[in-house]
Copies of this chain bind each other. A is one copy, B any other.
Amino acid sequence: MATGRPHRPTTRGRGIPEATVARLPLYLRALTALSERSVPTVSSEELATAAGVNSAKLRKDFSYLGSYGTRGVGYDVEYLVYQISRELGLTQDWPVVIVGIGNLGAALANYGGFASRGFRVAALIDADAAMAGRPVAGIAVQHIDELESIIADNGVSIGVIATPAGAAQQVCERLVAAGVTSILNFAPTVLSVPDGVDVRKVDLSIELQILAFHEQRKAGEAAAGPDITDMVTPVVPPVAATRRRADDVPARPVVDGAAPHGVGDAGSGPDGSDGGRSAAMPA
C-alpha cells in the first residue's frame, strides 16, 4: 500500500473511526504513565497490555494517525504522546462550564482529570441563588442567569450538565443557544439537540443495570445445568396459544387499555423519571 498517505475509510473527512477515537485517550493515559517513568519506547504489545486492548487493534488504530512506529523497535513514547494529544485536540486549552453544582457537580469540579490534560473549568453554574458566590473547588458558583454571558465571554464550547433530569433539556437548550456545541450529560434523560451539536451521555444507573444483567446471568448459569436455556427467559411450549404467562406477573392485557398501575415490583421509583436527583439545584 502507499506508504505515507493518510487513510479515509469511508467518510473522507478525517478518516479516524469513532471506535478508534474512543480508545485514543486510553493509549494516551498509558503513554503518559510510561513517559513519567522515562521509558523511551514501547512495543505495540506492551502498550496494548497497559491499555487493556489487543495489540493488533492498537496497531490498526495508530495506522489511522499515520506511521509513527519503527519496525523492530516500537513506538517512541514522547512522540506518540504528542501526536495523540494533538489529534485529540488537547494541545489547546478547552474552557468548560459545569451546570448543576450538587453532589455530582461538585465532584466533577474537584475532579483532577479535568484540570490536567487541556481542560479548564471556566465556571460553575447553578440555578439556586443561595449557591451563588459560594466557592466550590476554589471557584465561585455563579447563578444561571449569567449562563449566556459566561459562555460568550469565555468562548466556551463544551458544557457539562449535572442537573436533575427535569432541568437538563432546558439547560441544554440554553447552552446550545449560547454557542456550546459539545455537551457531556450526566442527567438521566435523552437530550434533543440540533444537528452539529455532539452529546455524550454518562449514566450511572444504566451501568449498574447492565452489571446486574450479567450478574443475574452468571447466577442463573451457576445454579442450573449448563443447558437450561430458559431459566430466565422461559420458552413457550410449542403448543400454547399466547406466550407464557408466569404466575406473579402482570397479566398480559388484551388491548383493553388501563392496566392496573404499579403492579410490577421493580421499576416503579416514586420520583420523577428514575434516579433524577443526580445533582442539586435544590431550590
Contacts and interface: CB of A to CB of B under 8 A. Distances in A.
A233 B112 contact: no
Contacts of A94: 208, 212, 215
> In the complex, which of the residues A14, A78, A251, A261 has the most CB atoms of chain B within 10 Å of its own CB atom?
A78
Q: Size class of A's contact patch?
A: 35 or more
A4 B29 CA distance: 49
A88 B209 contact: yes
Interface string A159-188: 000000000000000000000011110001
Contacts of A89: 212-213, 215-217
A66 interface: yes
Given A94-B215, A243-B67, A267 B84 contact: yes
Contacts of A92: 216
A238 B218 CA distance: 55
Nearest to A50: B190
A85 B275 contact: no
B252 A79 contact: yes
Interface in A107-125: 107-108, 110-119
Contact of A6 (B86, B111, B235): B235
Nearest to A233: B6
A13 B221 contact: yes
A97 interface: no
B217 A13 contact: yes
A258 interface: yes
Nearest to A13: B221
A145 interface: no
A133 interface: no
A14 B232 contact: yes
Contact of A35 (B8, B24, B183, B268): B268
Contacts of A260: 78
Contacts of A113: 188, 204-205, 208, 274-276, 278
Contacts of A233: 6, 14, 65-66, 87
25 contacts: A22-B210, A25-B210, A28-B209, A28-B267, A33-B274, A35-B261, A51-B190, A68-B243, A70-B255, A79-B252, A81-B264, A81-B267, A82-B250, A86-B266, A87-B232, A91-B266, A104-B111, A107-B278, A107-B279, A111-B278, A113-B208, A113-B275, A113-B276, A114-B208, A117-B266
Shortest Cβ-Cβ A-B pairs, 5 listed: A113-B275, A89-B216, A116-B269, A113-B205, A82-B264
